[in-house]
Amino acid sequence: MSNVSISSEAPQLASKAGRGCVYSEVKSRLQSAGLRPTRQRMGLGWLLFAKGDRHLTAEGLYEEALKAKVPVSLATVYNTLHQFTEAGLIREIAVEGAKTHFDTKATNHHHFYIEGENRLIDIEGSDIDVASLPSVPEGMEIARVDVVVRLRRKV
Ligand SMILES: [Zn+2]
């Protein structure tokens, strides 16, 4: 095989110093979010969080679970991702025309979306200045502003 390409989006390895987390950290993360650390949540949580900040779809996590021999169904993966989202452990990123992505980086930031590649790249929260926001209806407040900047390859 001479035609080997290295993907620039390869997930960061868990062994990188300061990144990712070990099994006991997943357990305390779940517990502090009010979730019981069941075997399935632990298995999926470990897969999700051990590789540092990243974006992935339910289908992507399901494939990783199969490879890692974590016995779950795709429906369980969906349910667990939604439970994690509700508990504030991860964020759901809905992009029009794309599969829903889940983001293990739960702090404020925005995204580039590359059209045709179904891929998200982080934009630091401080790199976007939302200068003017509309006034909100009576009794409401802005929870957060998510910006998706759509990109396409130049022709
Ligand atoms: Zn992100």
Last residue of a domain, one of 93, 114, 143: 93
Same domain, yes or no: 87 and 139: no
C-alpha 155 to ligand 1 mean position (Å) = 27
Same domain, yes or no: 27 and 89: yes
Residue 58 sits in a domain of what CATH number? 1.10.10.10
Distance CA 22, CA 124 (A): 26
Residue 83 lies inside a defined structural domain of this protein: yes
For residue 77, what are the domain limits? 23-93
> Who wins on pLDDT, 144 or 38?
38
Q: How many domains does the chain have?
A: 2
pTM, to two decimals: 0.78
C-alpha 116 to ligand 1 mean position (Å) = 18
Same domain, yes or no: 56 and 79: yes
pLDDT digits (tens, 9 = 90+) for 118-133: 899 999 988 998 888 9
C-alpha 95 to ligand 1 mean position (Å) = 12
Same domain, yes or no: 79 and 138: no
C-alpha 84 to ligand 1 mean position (Å) = 15
C-alpha 54 to ligand 1 mean position (Å) = 6
pLDDT digits (tens, 9 = 90+) for 24-78: 889 999 999 999 999 999 999 999 998 889 999 999 999 999 999 999 999 999 9
Residue 144 lies inside a defined structural domain of this protein: yes
C-alpha 42 to ligand 1 mean position (Å) = 22
C-alpha 9 to ligand 1 mean position (Å) = 13
Instruction: Please list, residue by residue across 25-60, b when 16 or more beta carbons sit within 10 angstroms of its beta carbon and e when fewer do.
Output: ebbebbeeeebeeeebbbbbbbbbbbbbbbbbbbee
C-alpha 138 to ligand 1 mean position (Å) = 31
C-alpha 55 to ligand 1 mean position (Å) = 6
Please say whether the dihedral angle defined by the alpha carbons of residues 135, 148, 84 and 12, taken in this order, is positive or negative.
negative
Same domain, yes or no: 73 and 121: no
Residue 9 lies inside a defined structural domain of this protein: no
Residue 48 lies inside a defined structural domain of this protein: yes
Same domain, yes or no: 66 and 43: yes
Would you list the DSSP string of 84-131? HHHTTSSEEE--TTS--EEES--SSEEEEEETTTTEEEEEEGGG----
Residue 100 lies inside a defined structural domain of this protein: no
Distance CA 136, CA 142 (A): 7
What percent of the chain is modeled with pLDDT above 70? 86
Same domain, yes or no: 87 and 32: yes
